[in-house]
C-alpha cells in the first residue's frame, strides 16, 4: 500500500516531440555557431519541442494523461526547421519552423483538450513551435537557416523535467506513435 507521501508525489511533466540523435546533434552544432560567448547551450540529448507543459502532476492525473494520449490520432508529418531566433525576455535562443504544419497544430490541440479532460488548466499562451538550443544567451536575430532541417515526426512523448542549479534534466517516460 502506498504511503500518503507517495500518493502526493508530483512529477513536473510535459508532452513533446523528441528528435532523433542525429537531428539533436545538428541543432547542438547550430547552437555553437549562434551562441559563441556566454549563454548555456543545451546538451544535444536535451533538445526537444515542447507541445504542452503540464506542470506538477500526481499519479492519477498522469494515468489519465497517458490514457488520453493513447487515443490521439494524428498522422505522421514532416517538420521543416528553417529559422532561428530569440525570445528576448526569457533569453532563449531557438530553432523552429516558419510555418506550423496542420498535423502539428492538431496534435497540440488534441493534447491540450486531453489535459483539460484530466483536470489540468493548460497554459493560455499561444503555441509557438520551437526547439530551445540555448538559455541565458544574448539575442540573435530571427533569420532563415541556409538550408532547412527536415524532421520526419513519427511520434510524441510524455517527459519529466527535474530542475537543478545547472539546468533542467529531462527523461522520456512514454512514447506514442503518430497514426491517422
Q: Which of 11, 15, 16, 48 is catalytic?
A: 48
Is the overall model pTM greater than 0.85, yes or no?
yes
| 164 in active site | no
Which residue, among 97, 127, 131, 132, has the nearest Cα to 112 in the 3D structure? 127
Class of domain 9-177: alpha beta
pLDDT at 1: 39
CB atoms within 10 A of CB 176: 16
Q: CA-based diameter of the chain, in Å?
A: 57
pLDDT for res 4:
45
- In the predicted model, residues of the chain with pLDDT beneath 50 are 1-7
Catalytic residue among 130, 133, 137, 153: 130
In the chain, where the domains are located: 9-177
Amino acid at each position: 500500500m502506498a504511503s500518503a507521501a507517495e500518493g502526493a508525489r508530483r512529477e513536473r511533466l510535459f508532452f513533446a516531440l523528441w528528435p532523433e540523435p542525429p537531428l539533436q546533434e545538428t541543432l547542438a552544432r547550430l547552437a555553437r555557431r549562434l551562441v559563441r560567448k556566454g549563454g548555456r547551450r543545451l546538451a544535444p540529448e536535451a533538445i526537444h519541442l515542447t507541445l504542452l507543459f503540464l506542470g506538477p502532476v500526481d499519479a492519477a492525473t498522469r494515468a489519465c494523461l497517458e490514457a488520453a494520449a493513447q487515443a490521439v490520432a494524428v498522422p505522421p508529418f514532416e517538420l521543416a526547421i528553417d529559422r532561428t531566433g530569440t525570445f528576448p525576455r526569457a533569453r532563449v535562443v531557438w530553432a523552429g519552423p516558419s510555418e506550423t504544419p496542420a498535423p502539428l497544430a492538431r496534435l497540440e490541440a488534441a493534447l491540450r483538450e486531453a489535459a483539460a479532460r484530466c483536470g489540468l488548466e493548460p497554459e493560455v499562451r499561444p503555441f509557438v513551435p520551437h526547439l530551445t538550443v540555448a538559455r541565458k544567451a544574448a539575442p540573435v536575430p530571427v533569420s532563415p537557416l541556409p538550408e532547412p532541417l527536415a524532421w520526419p515526426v513519427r511520434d510524441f512523448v510524455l517527459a519529466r523535467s527535474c530542475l537543478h542549479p545547472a539546468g533542467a534534466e529531462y527523461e522520456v517516460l512514454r512514447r506514442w506513435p503518430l497514426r491517422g
